[in-house]
A = this chain, B = another copy of it.
Amino acid sequence: MTRIAVCAPATPITREHAEAAERLVADEFPEHTIFFHDQCFRSAGHFAGTDLQRLEALVELANNPDYDAVWFAKGGYGSNRIAEAAISRMNAAARAKTYVGFSDMGYLLAALYRNGIGQPVHGSMPVSARSERGREAVRRVLRWFSGDGSGLEPSLDGKTPAVAFNLITLAMITNTPLMPDLSGHIVMVEEVSEHDYSVDRLFFHLANTLPRIAGLRLGSVTDVPENDREFGQSVEAIAKFWCNRAGFPYLGRAEIGHTAANRIVPFGLASPSTAG
């Protein structure tokens, strides 16, 4: 069993989201328990509570030995504002945990990975439990907690360390105190709601700032807004162009992104859940 605790380091979810996830766990994964911190439902402007409220909830759950995993409720934007402070307060219990989320949660996953704290994992989040398609993405994580690796990104080979990030999140992390050393890693990136030219611009930044990585995989790039003209290259052509310029091997696509097909990528060397 995995004792899961949920907080929202960026934006809030509703009680209905939490209830849908609790029902799914009770009905289909009785081997796990799931606890939603009240902070998940707070609101302060854009965020799920003030920076201090989000920080305190995250540190409280991470440092509590009664939980095996912290599952981030939702992305959005805002975990970057508390990541460094949270890391500095984490204890031995925090170092024994699994942390699951993606998109904006990449700031936390990066900082945890940089500091060798627990097992950071790219994976879907409880916010998706209210829709039928989203529920399948949530089940994938719950199965992984049970030791079932069928939801892992299929290219993971257990030999080359891997990470997965939202493209703009990774670009914002580069050269900050949250940035892990990605030398020798396979780096998977996905994006949502960005123009093609913005994707090109973000790859320009990564091509010029990432270290010698083992290769890049492109996840899905969804909800691209209409622009006043066609960019003239597909997002895969953009990824290949910048990989060529940077000397990064382009390794093909990855099944990650803001879709129900979003697969699991444990940071580092892929393995079934160690929290199960």
Contacts and interface: CB of A to CB of B under 8 A. Distances in A.
Nearest to A242: B81
A229 interface: yes
B46 A208 contact: no
Nearest to A195: B77
Given A44-B232, A46-B231, A174 B175 contact: yes
Interface stretch (A32-40, A122-130, A183-191, A198-206): A198-206
A212 to B, nearest CB: 15
Interface residues of A, number: 31
A44 to B, nearest CB: 6
A196 B45 CA distance: 11
A154 interface: no
A261 interface: no
Contacts of A171: 171-172, 205
A14 interface: no
A3 B197 CA distance: 33
A252 interface: no
B45 A232 contact: yes
Contact of A230 (B46, B175, B227, B231): B46
A202 B77 CA distance: 12
A177 interface: yes
Given A172-B201, A201-B172, A233-B45, A177 B77 contact: no
Q: Which 6 A-B pairs have the closest CB atoms?
A: A45-B232, A176-B208, A77-B197, A175-B175, A46-B231, A172-B205
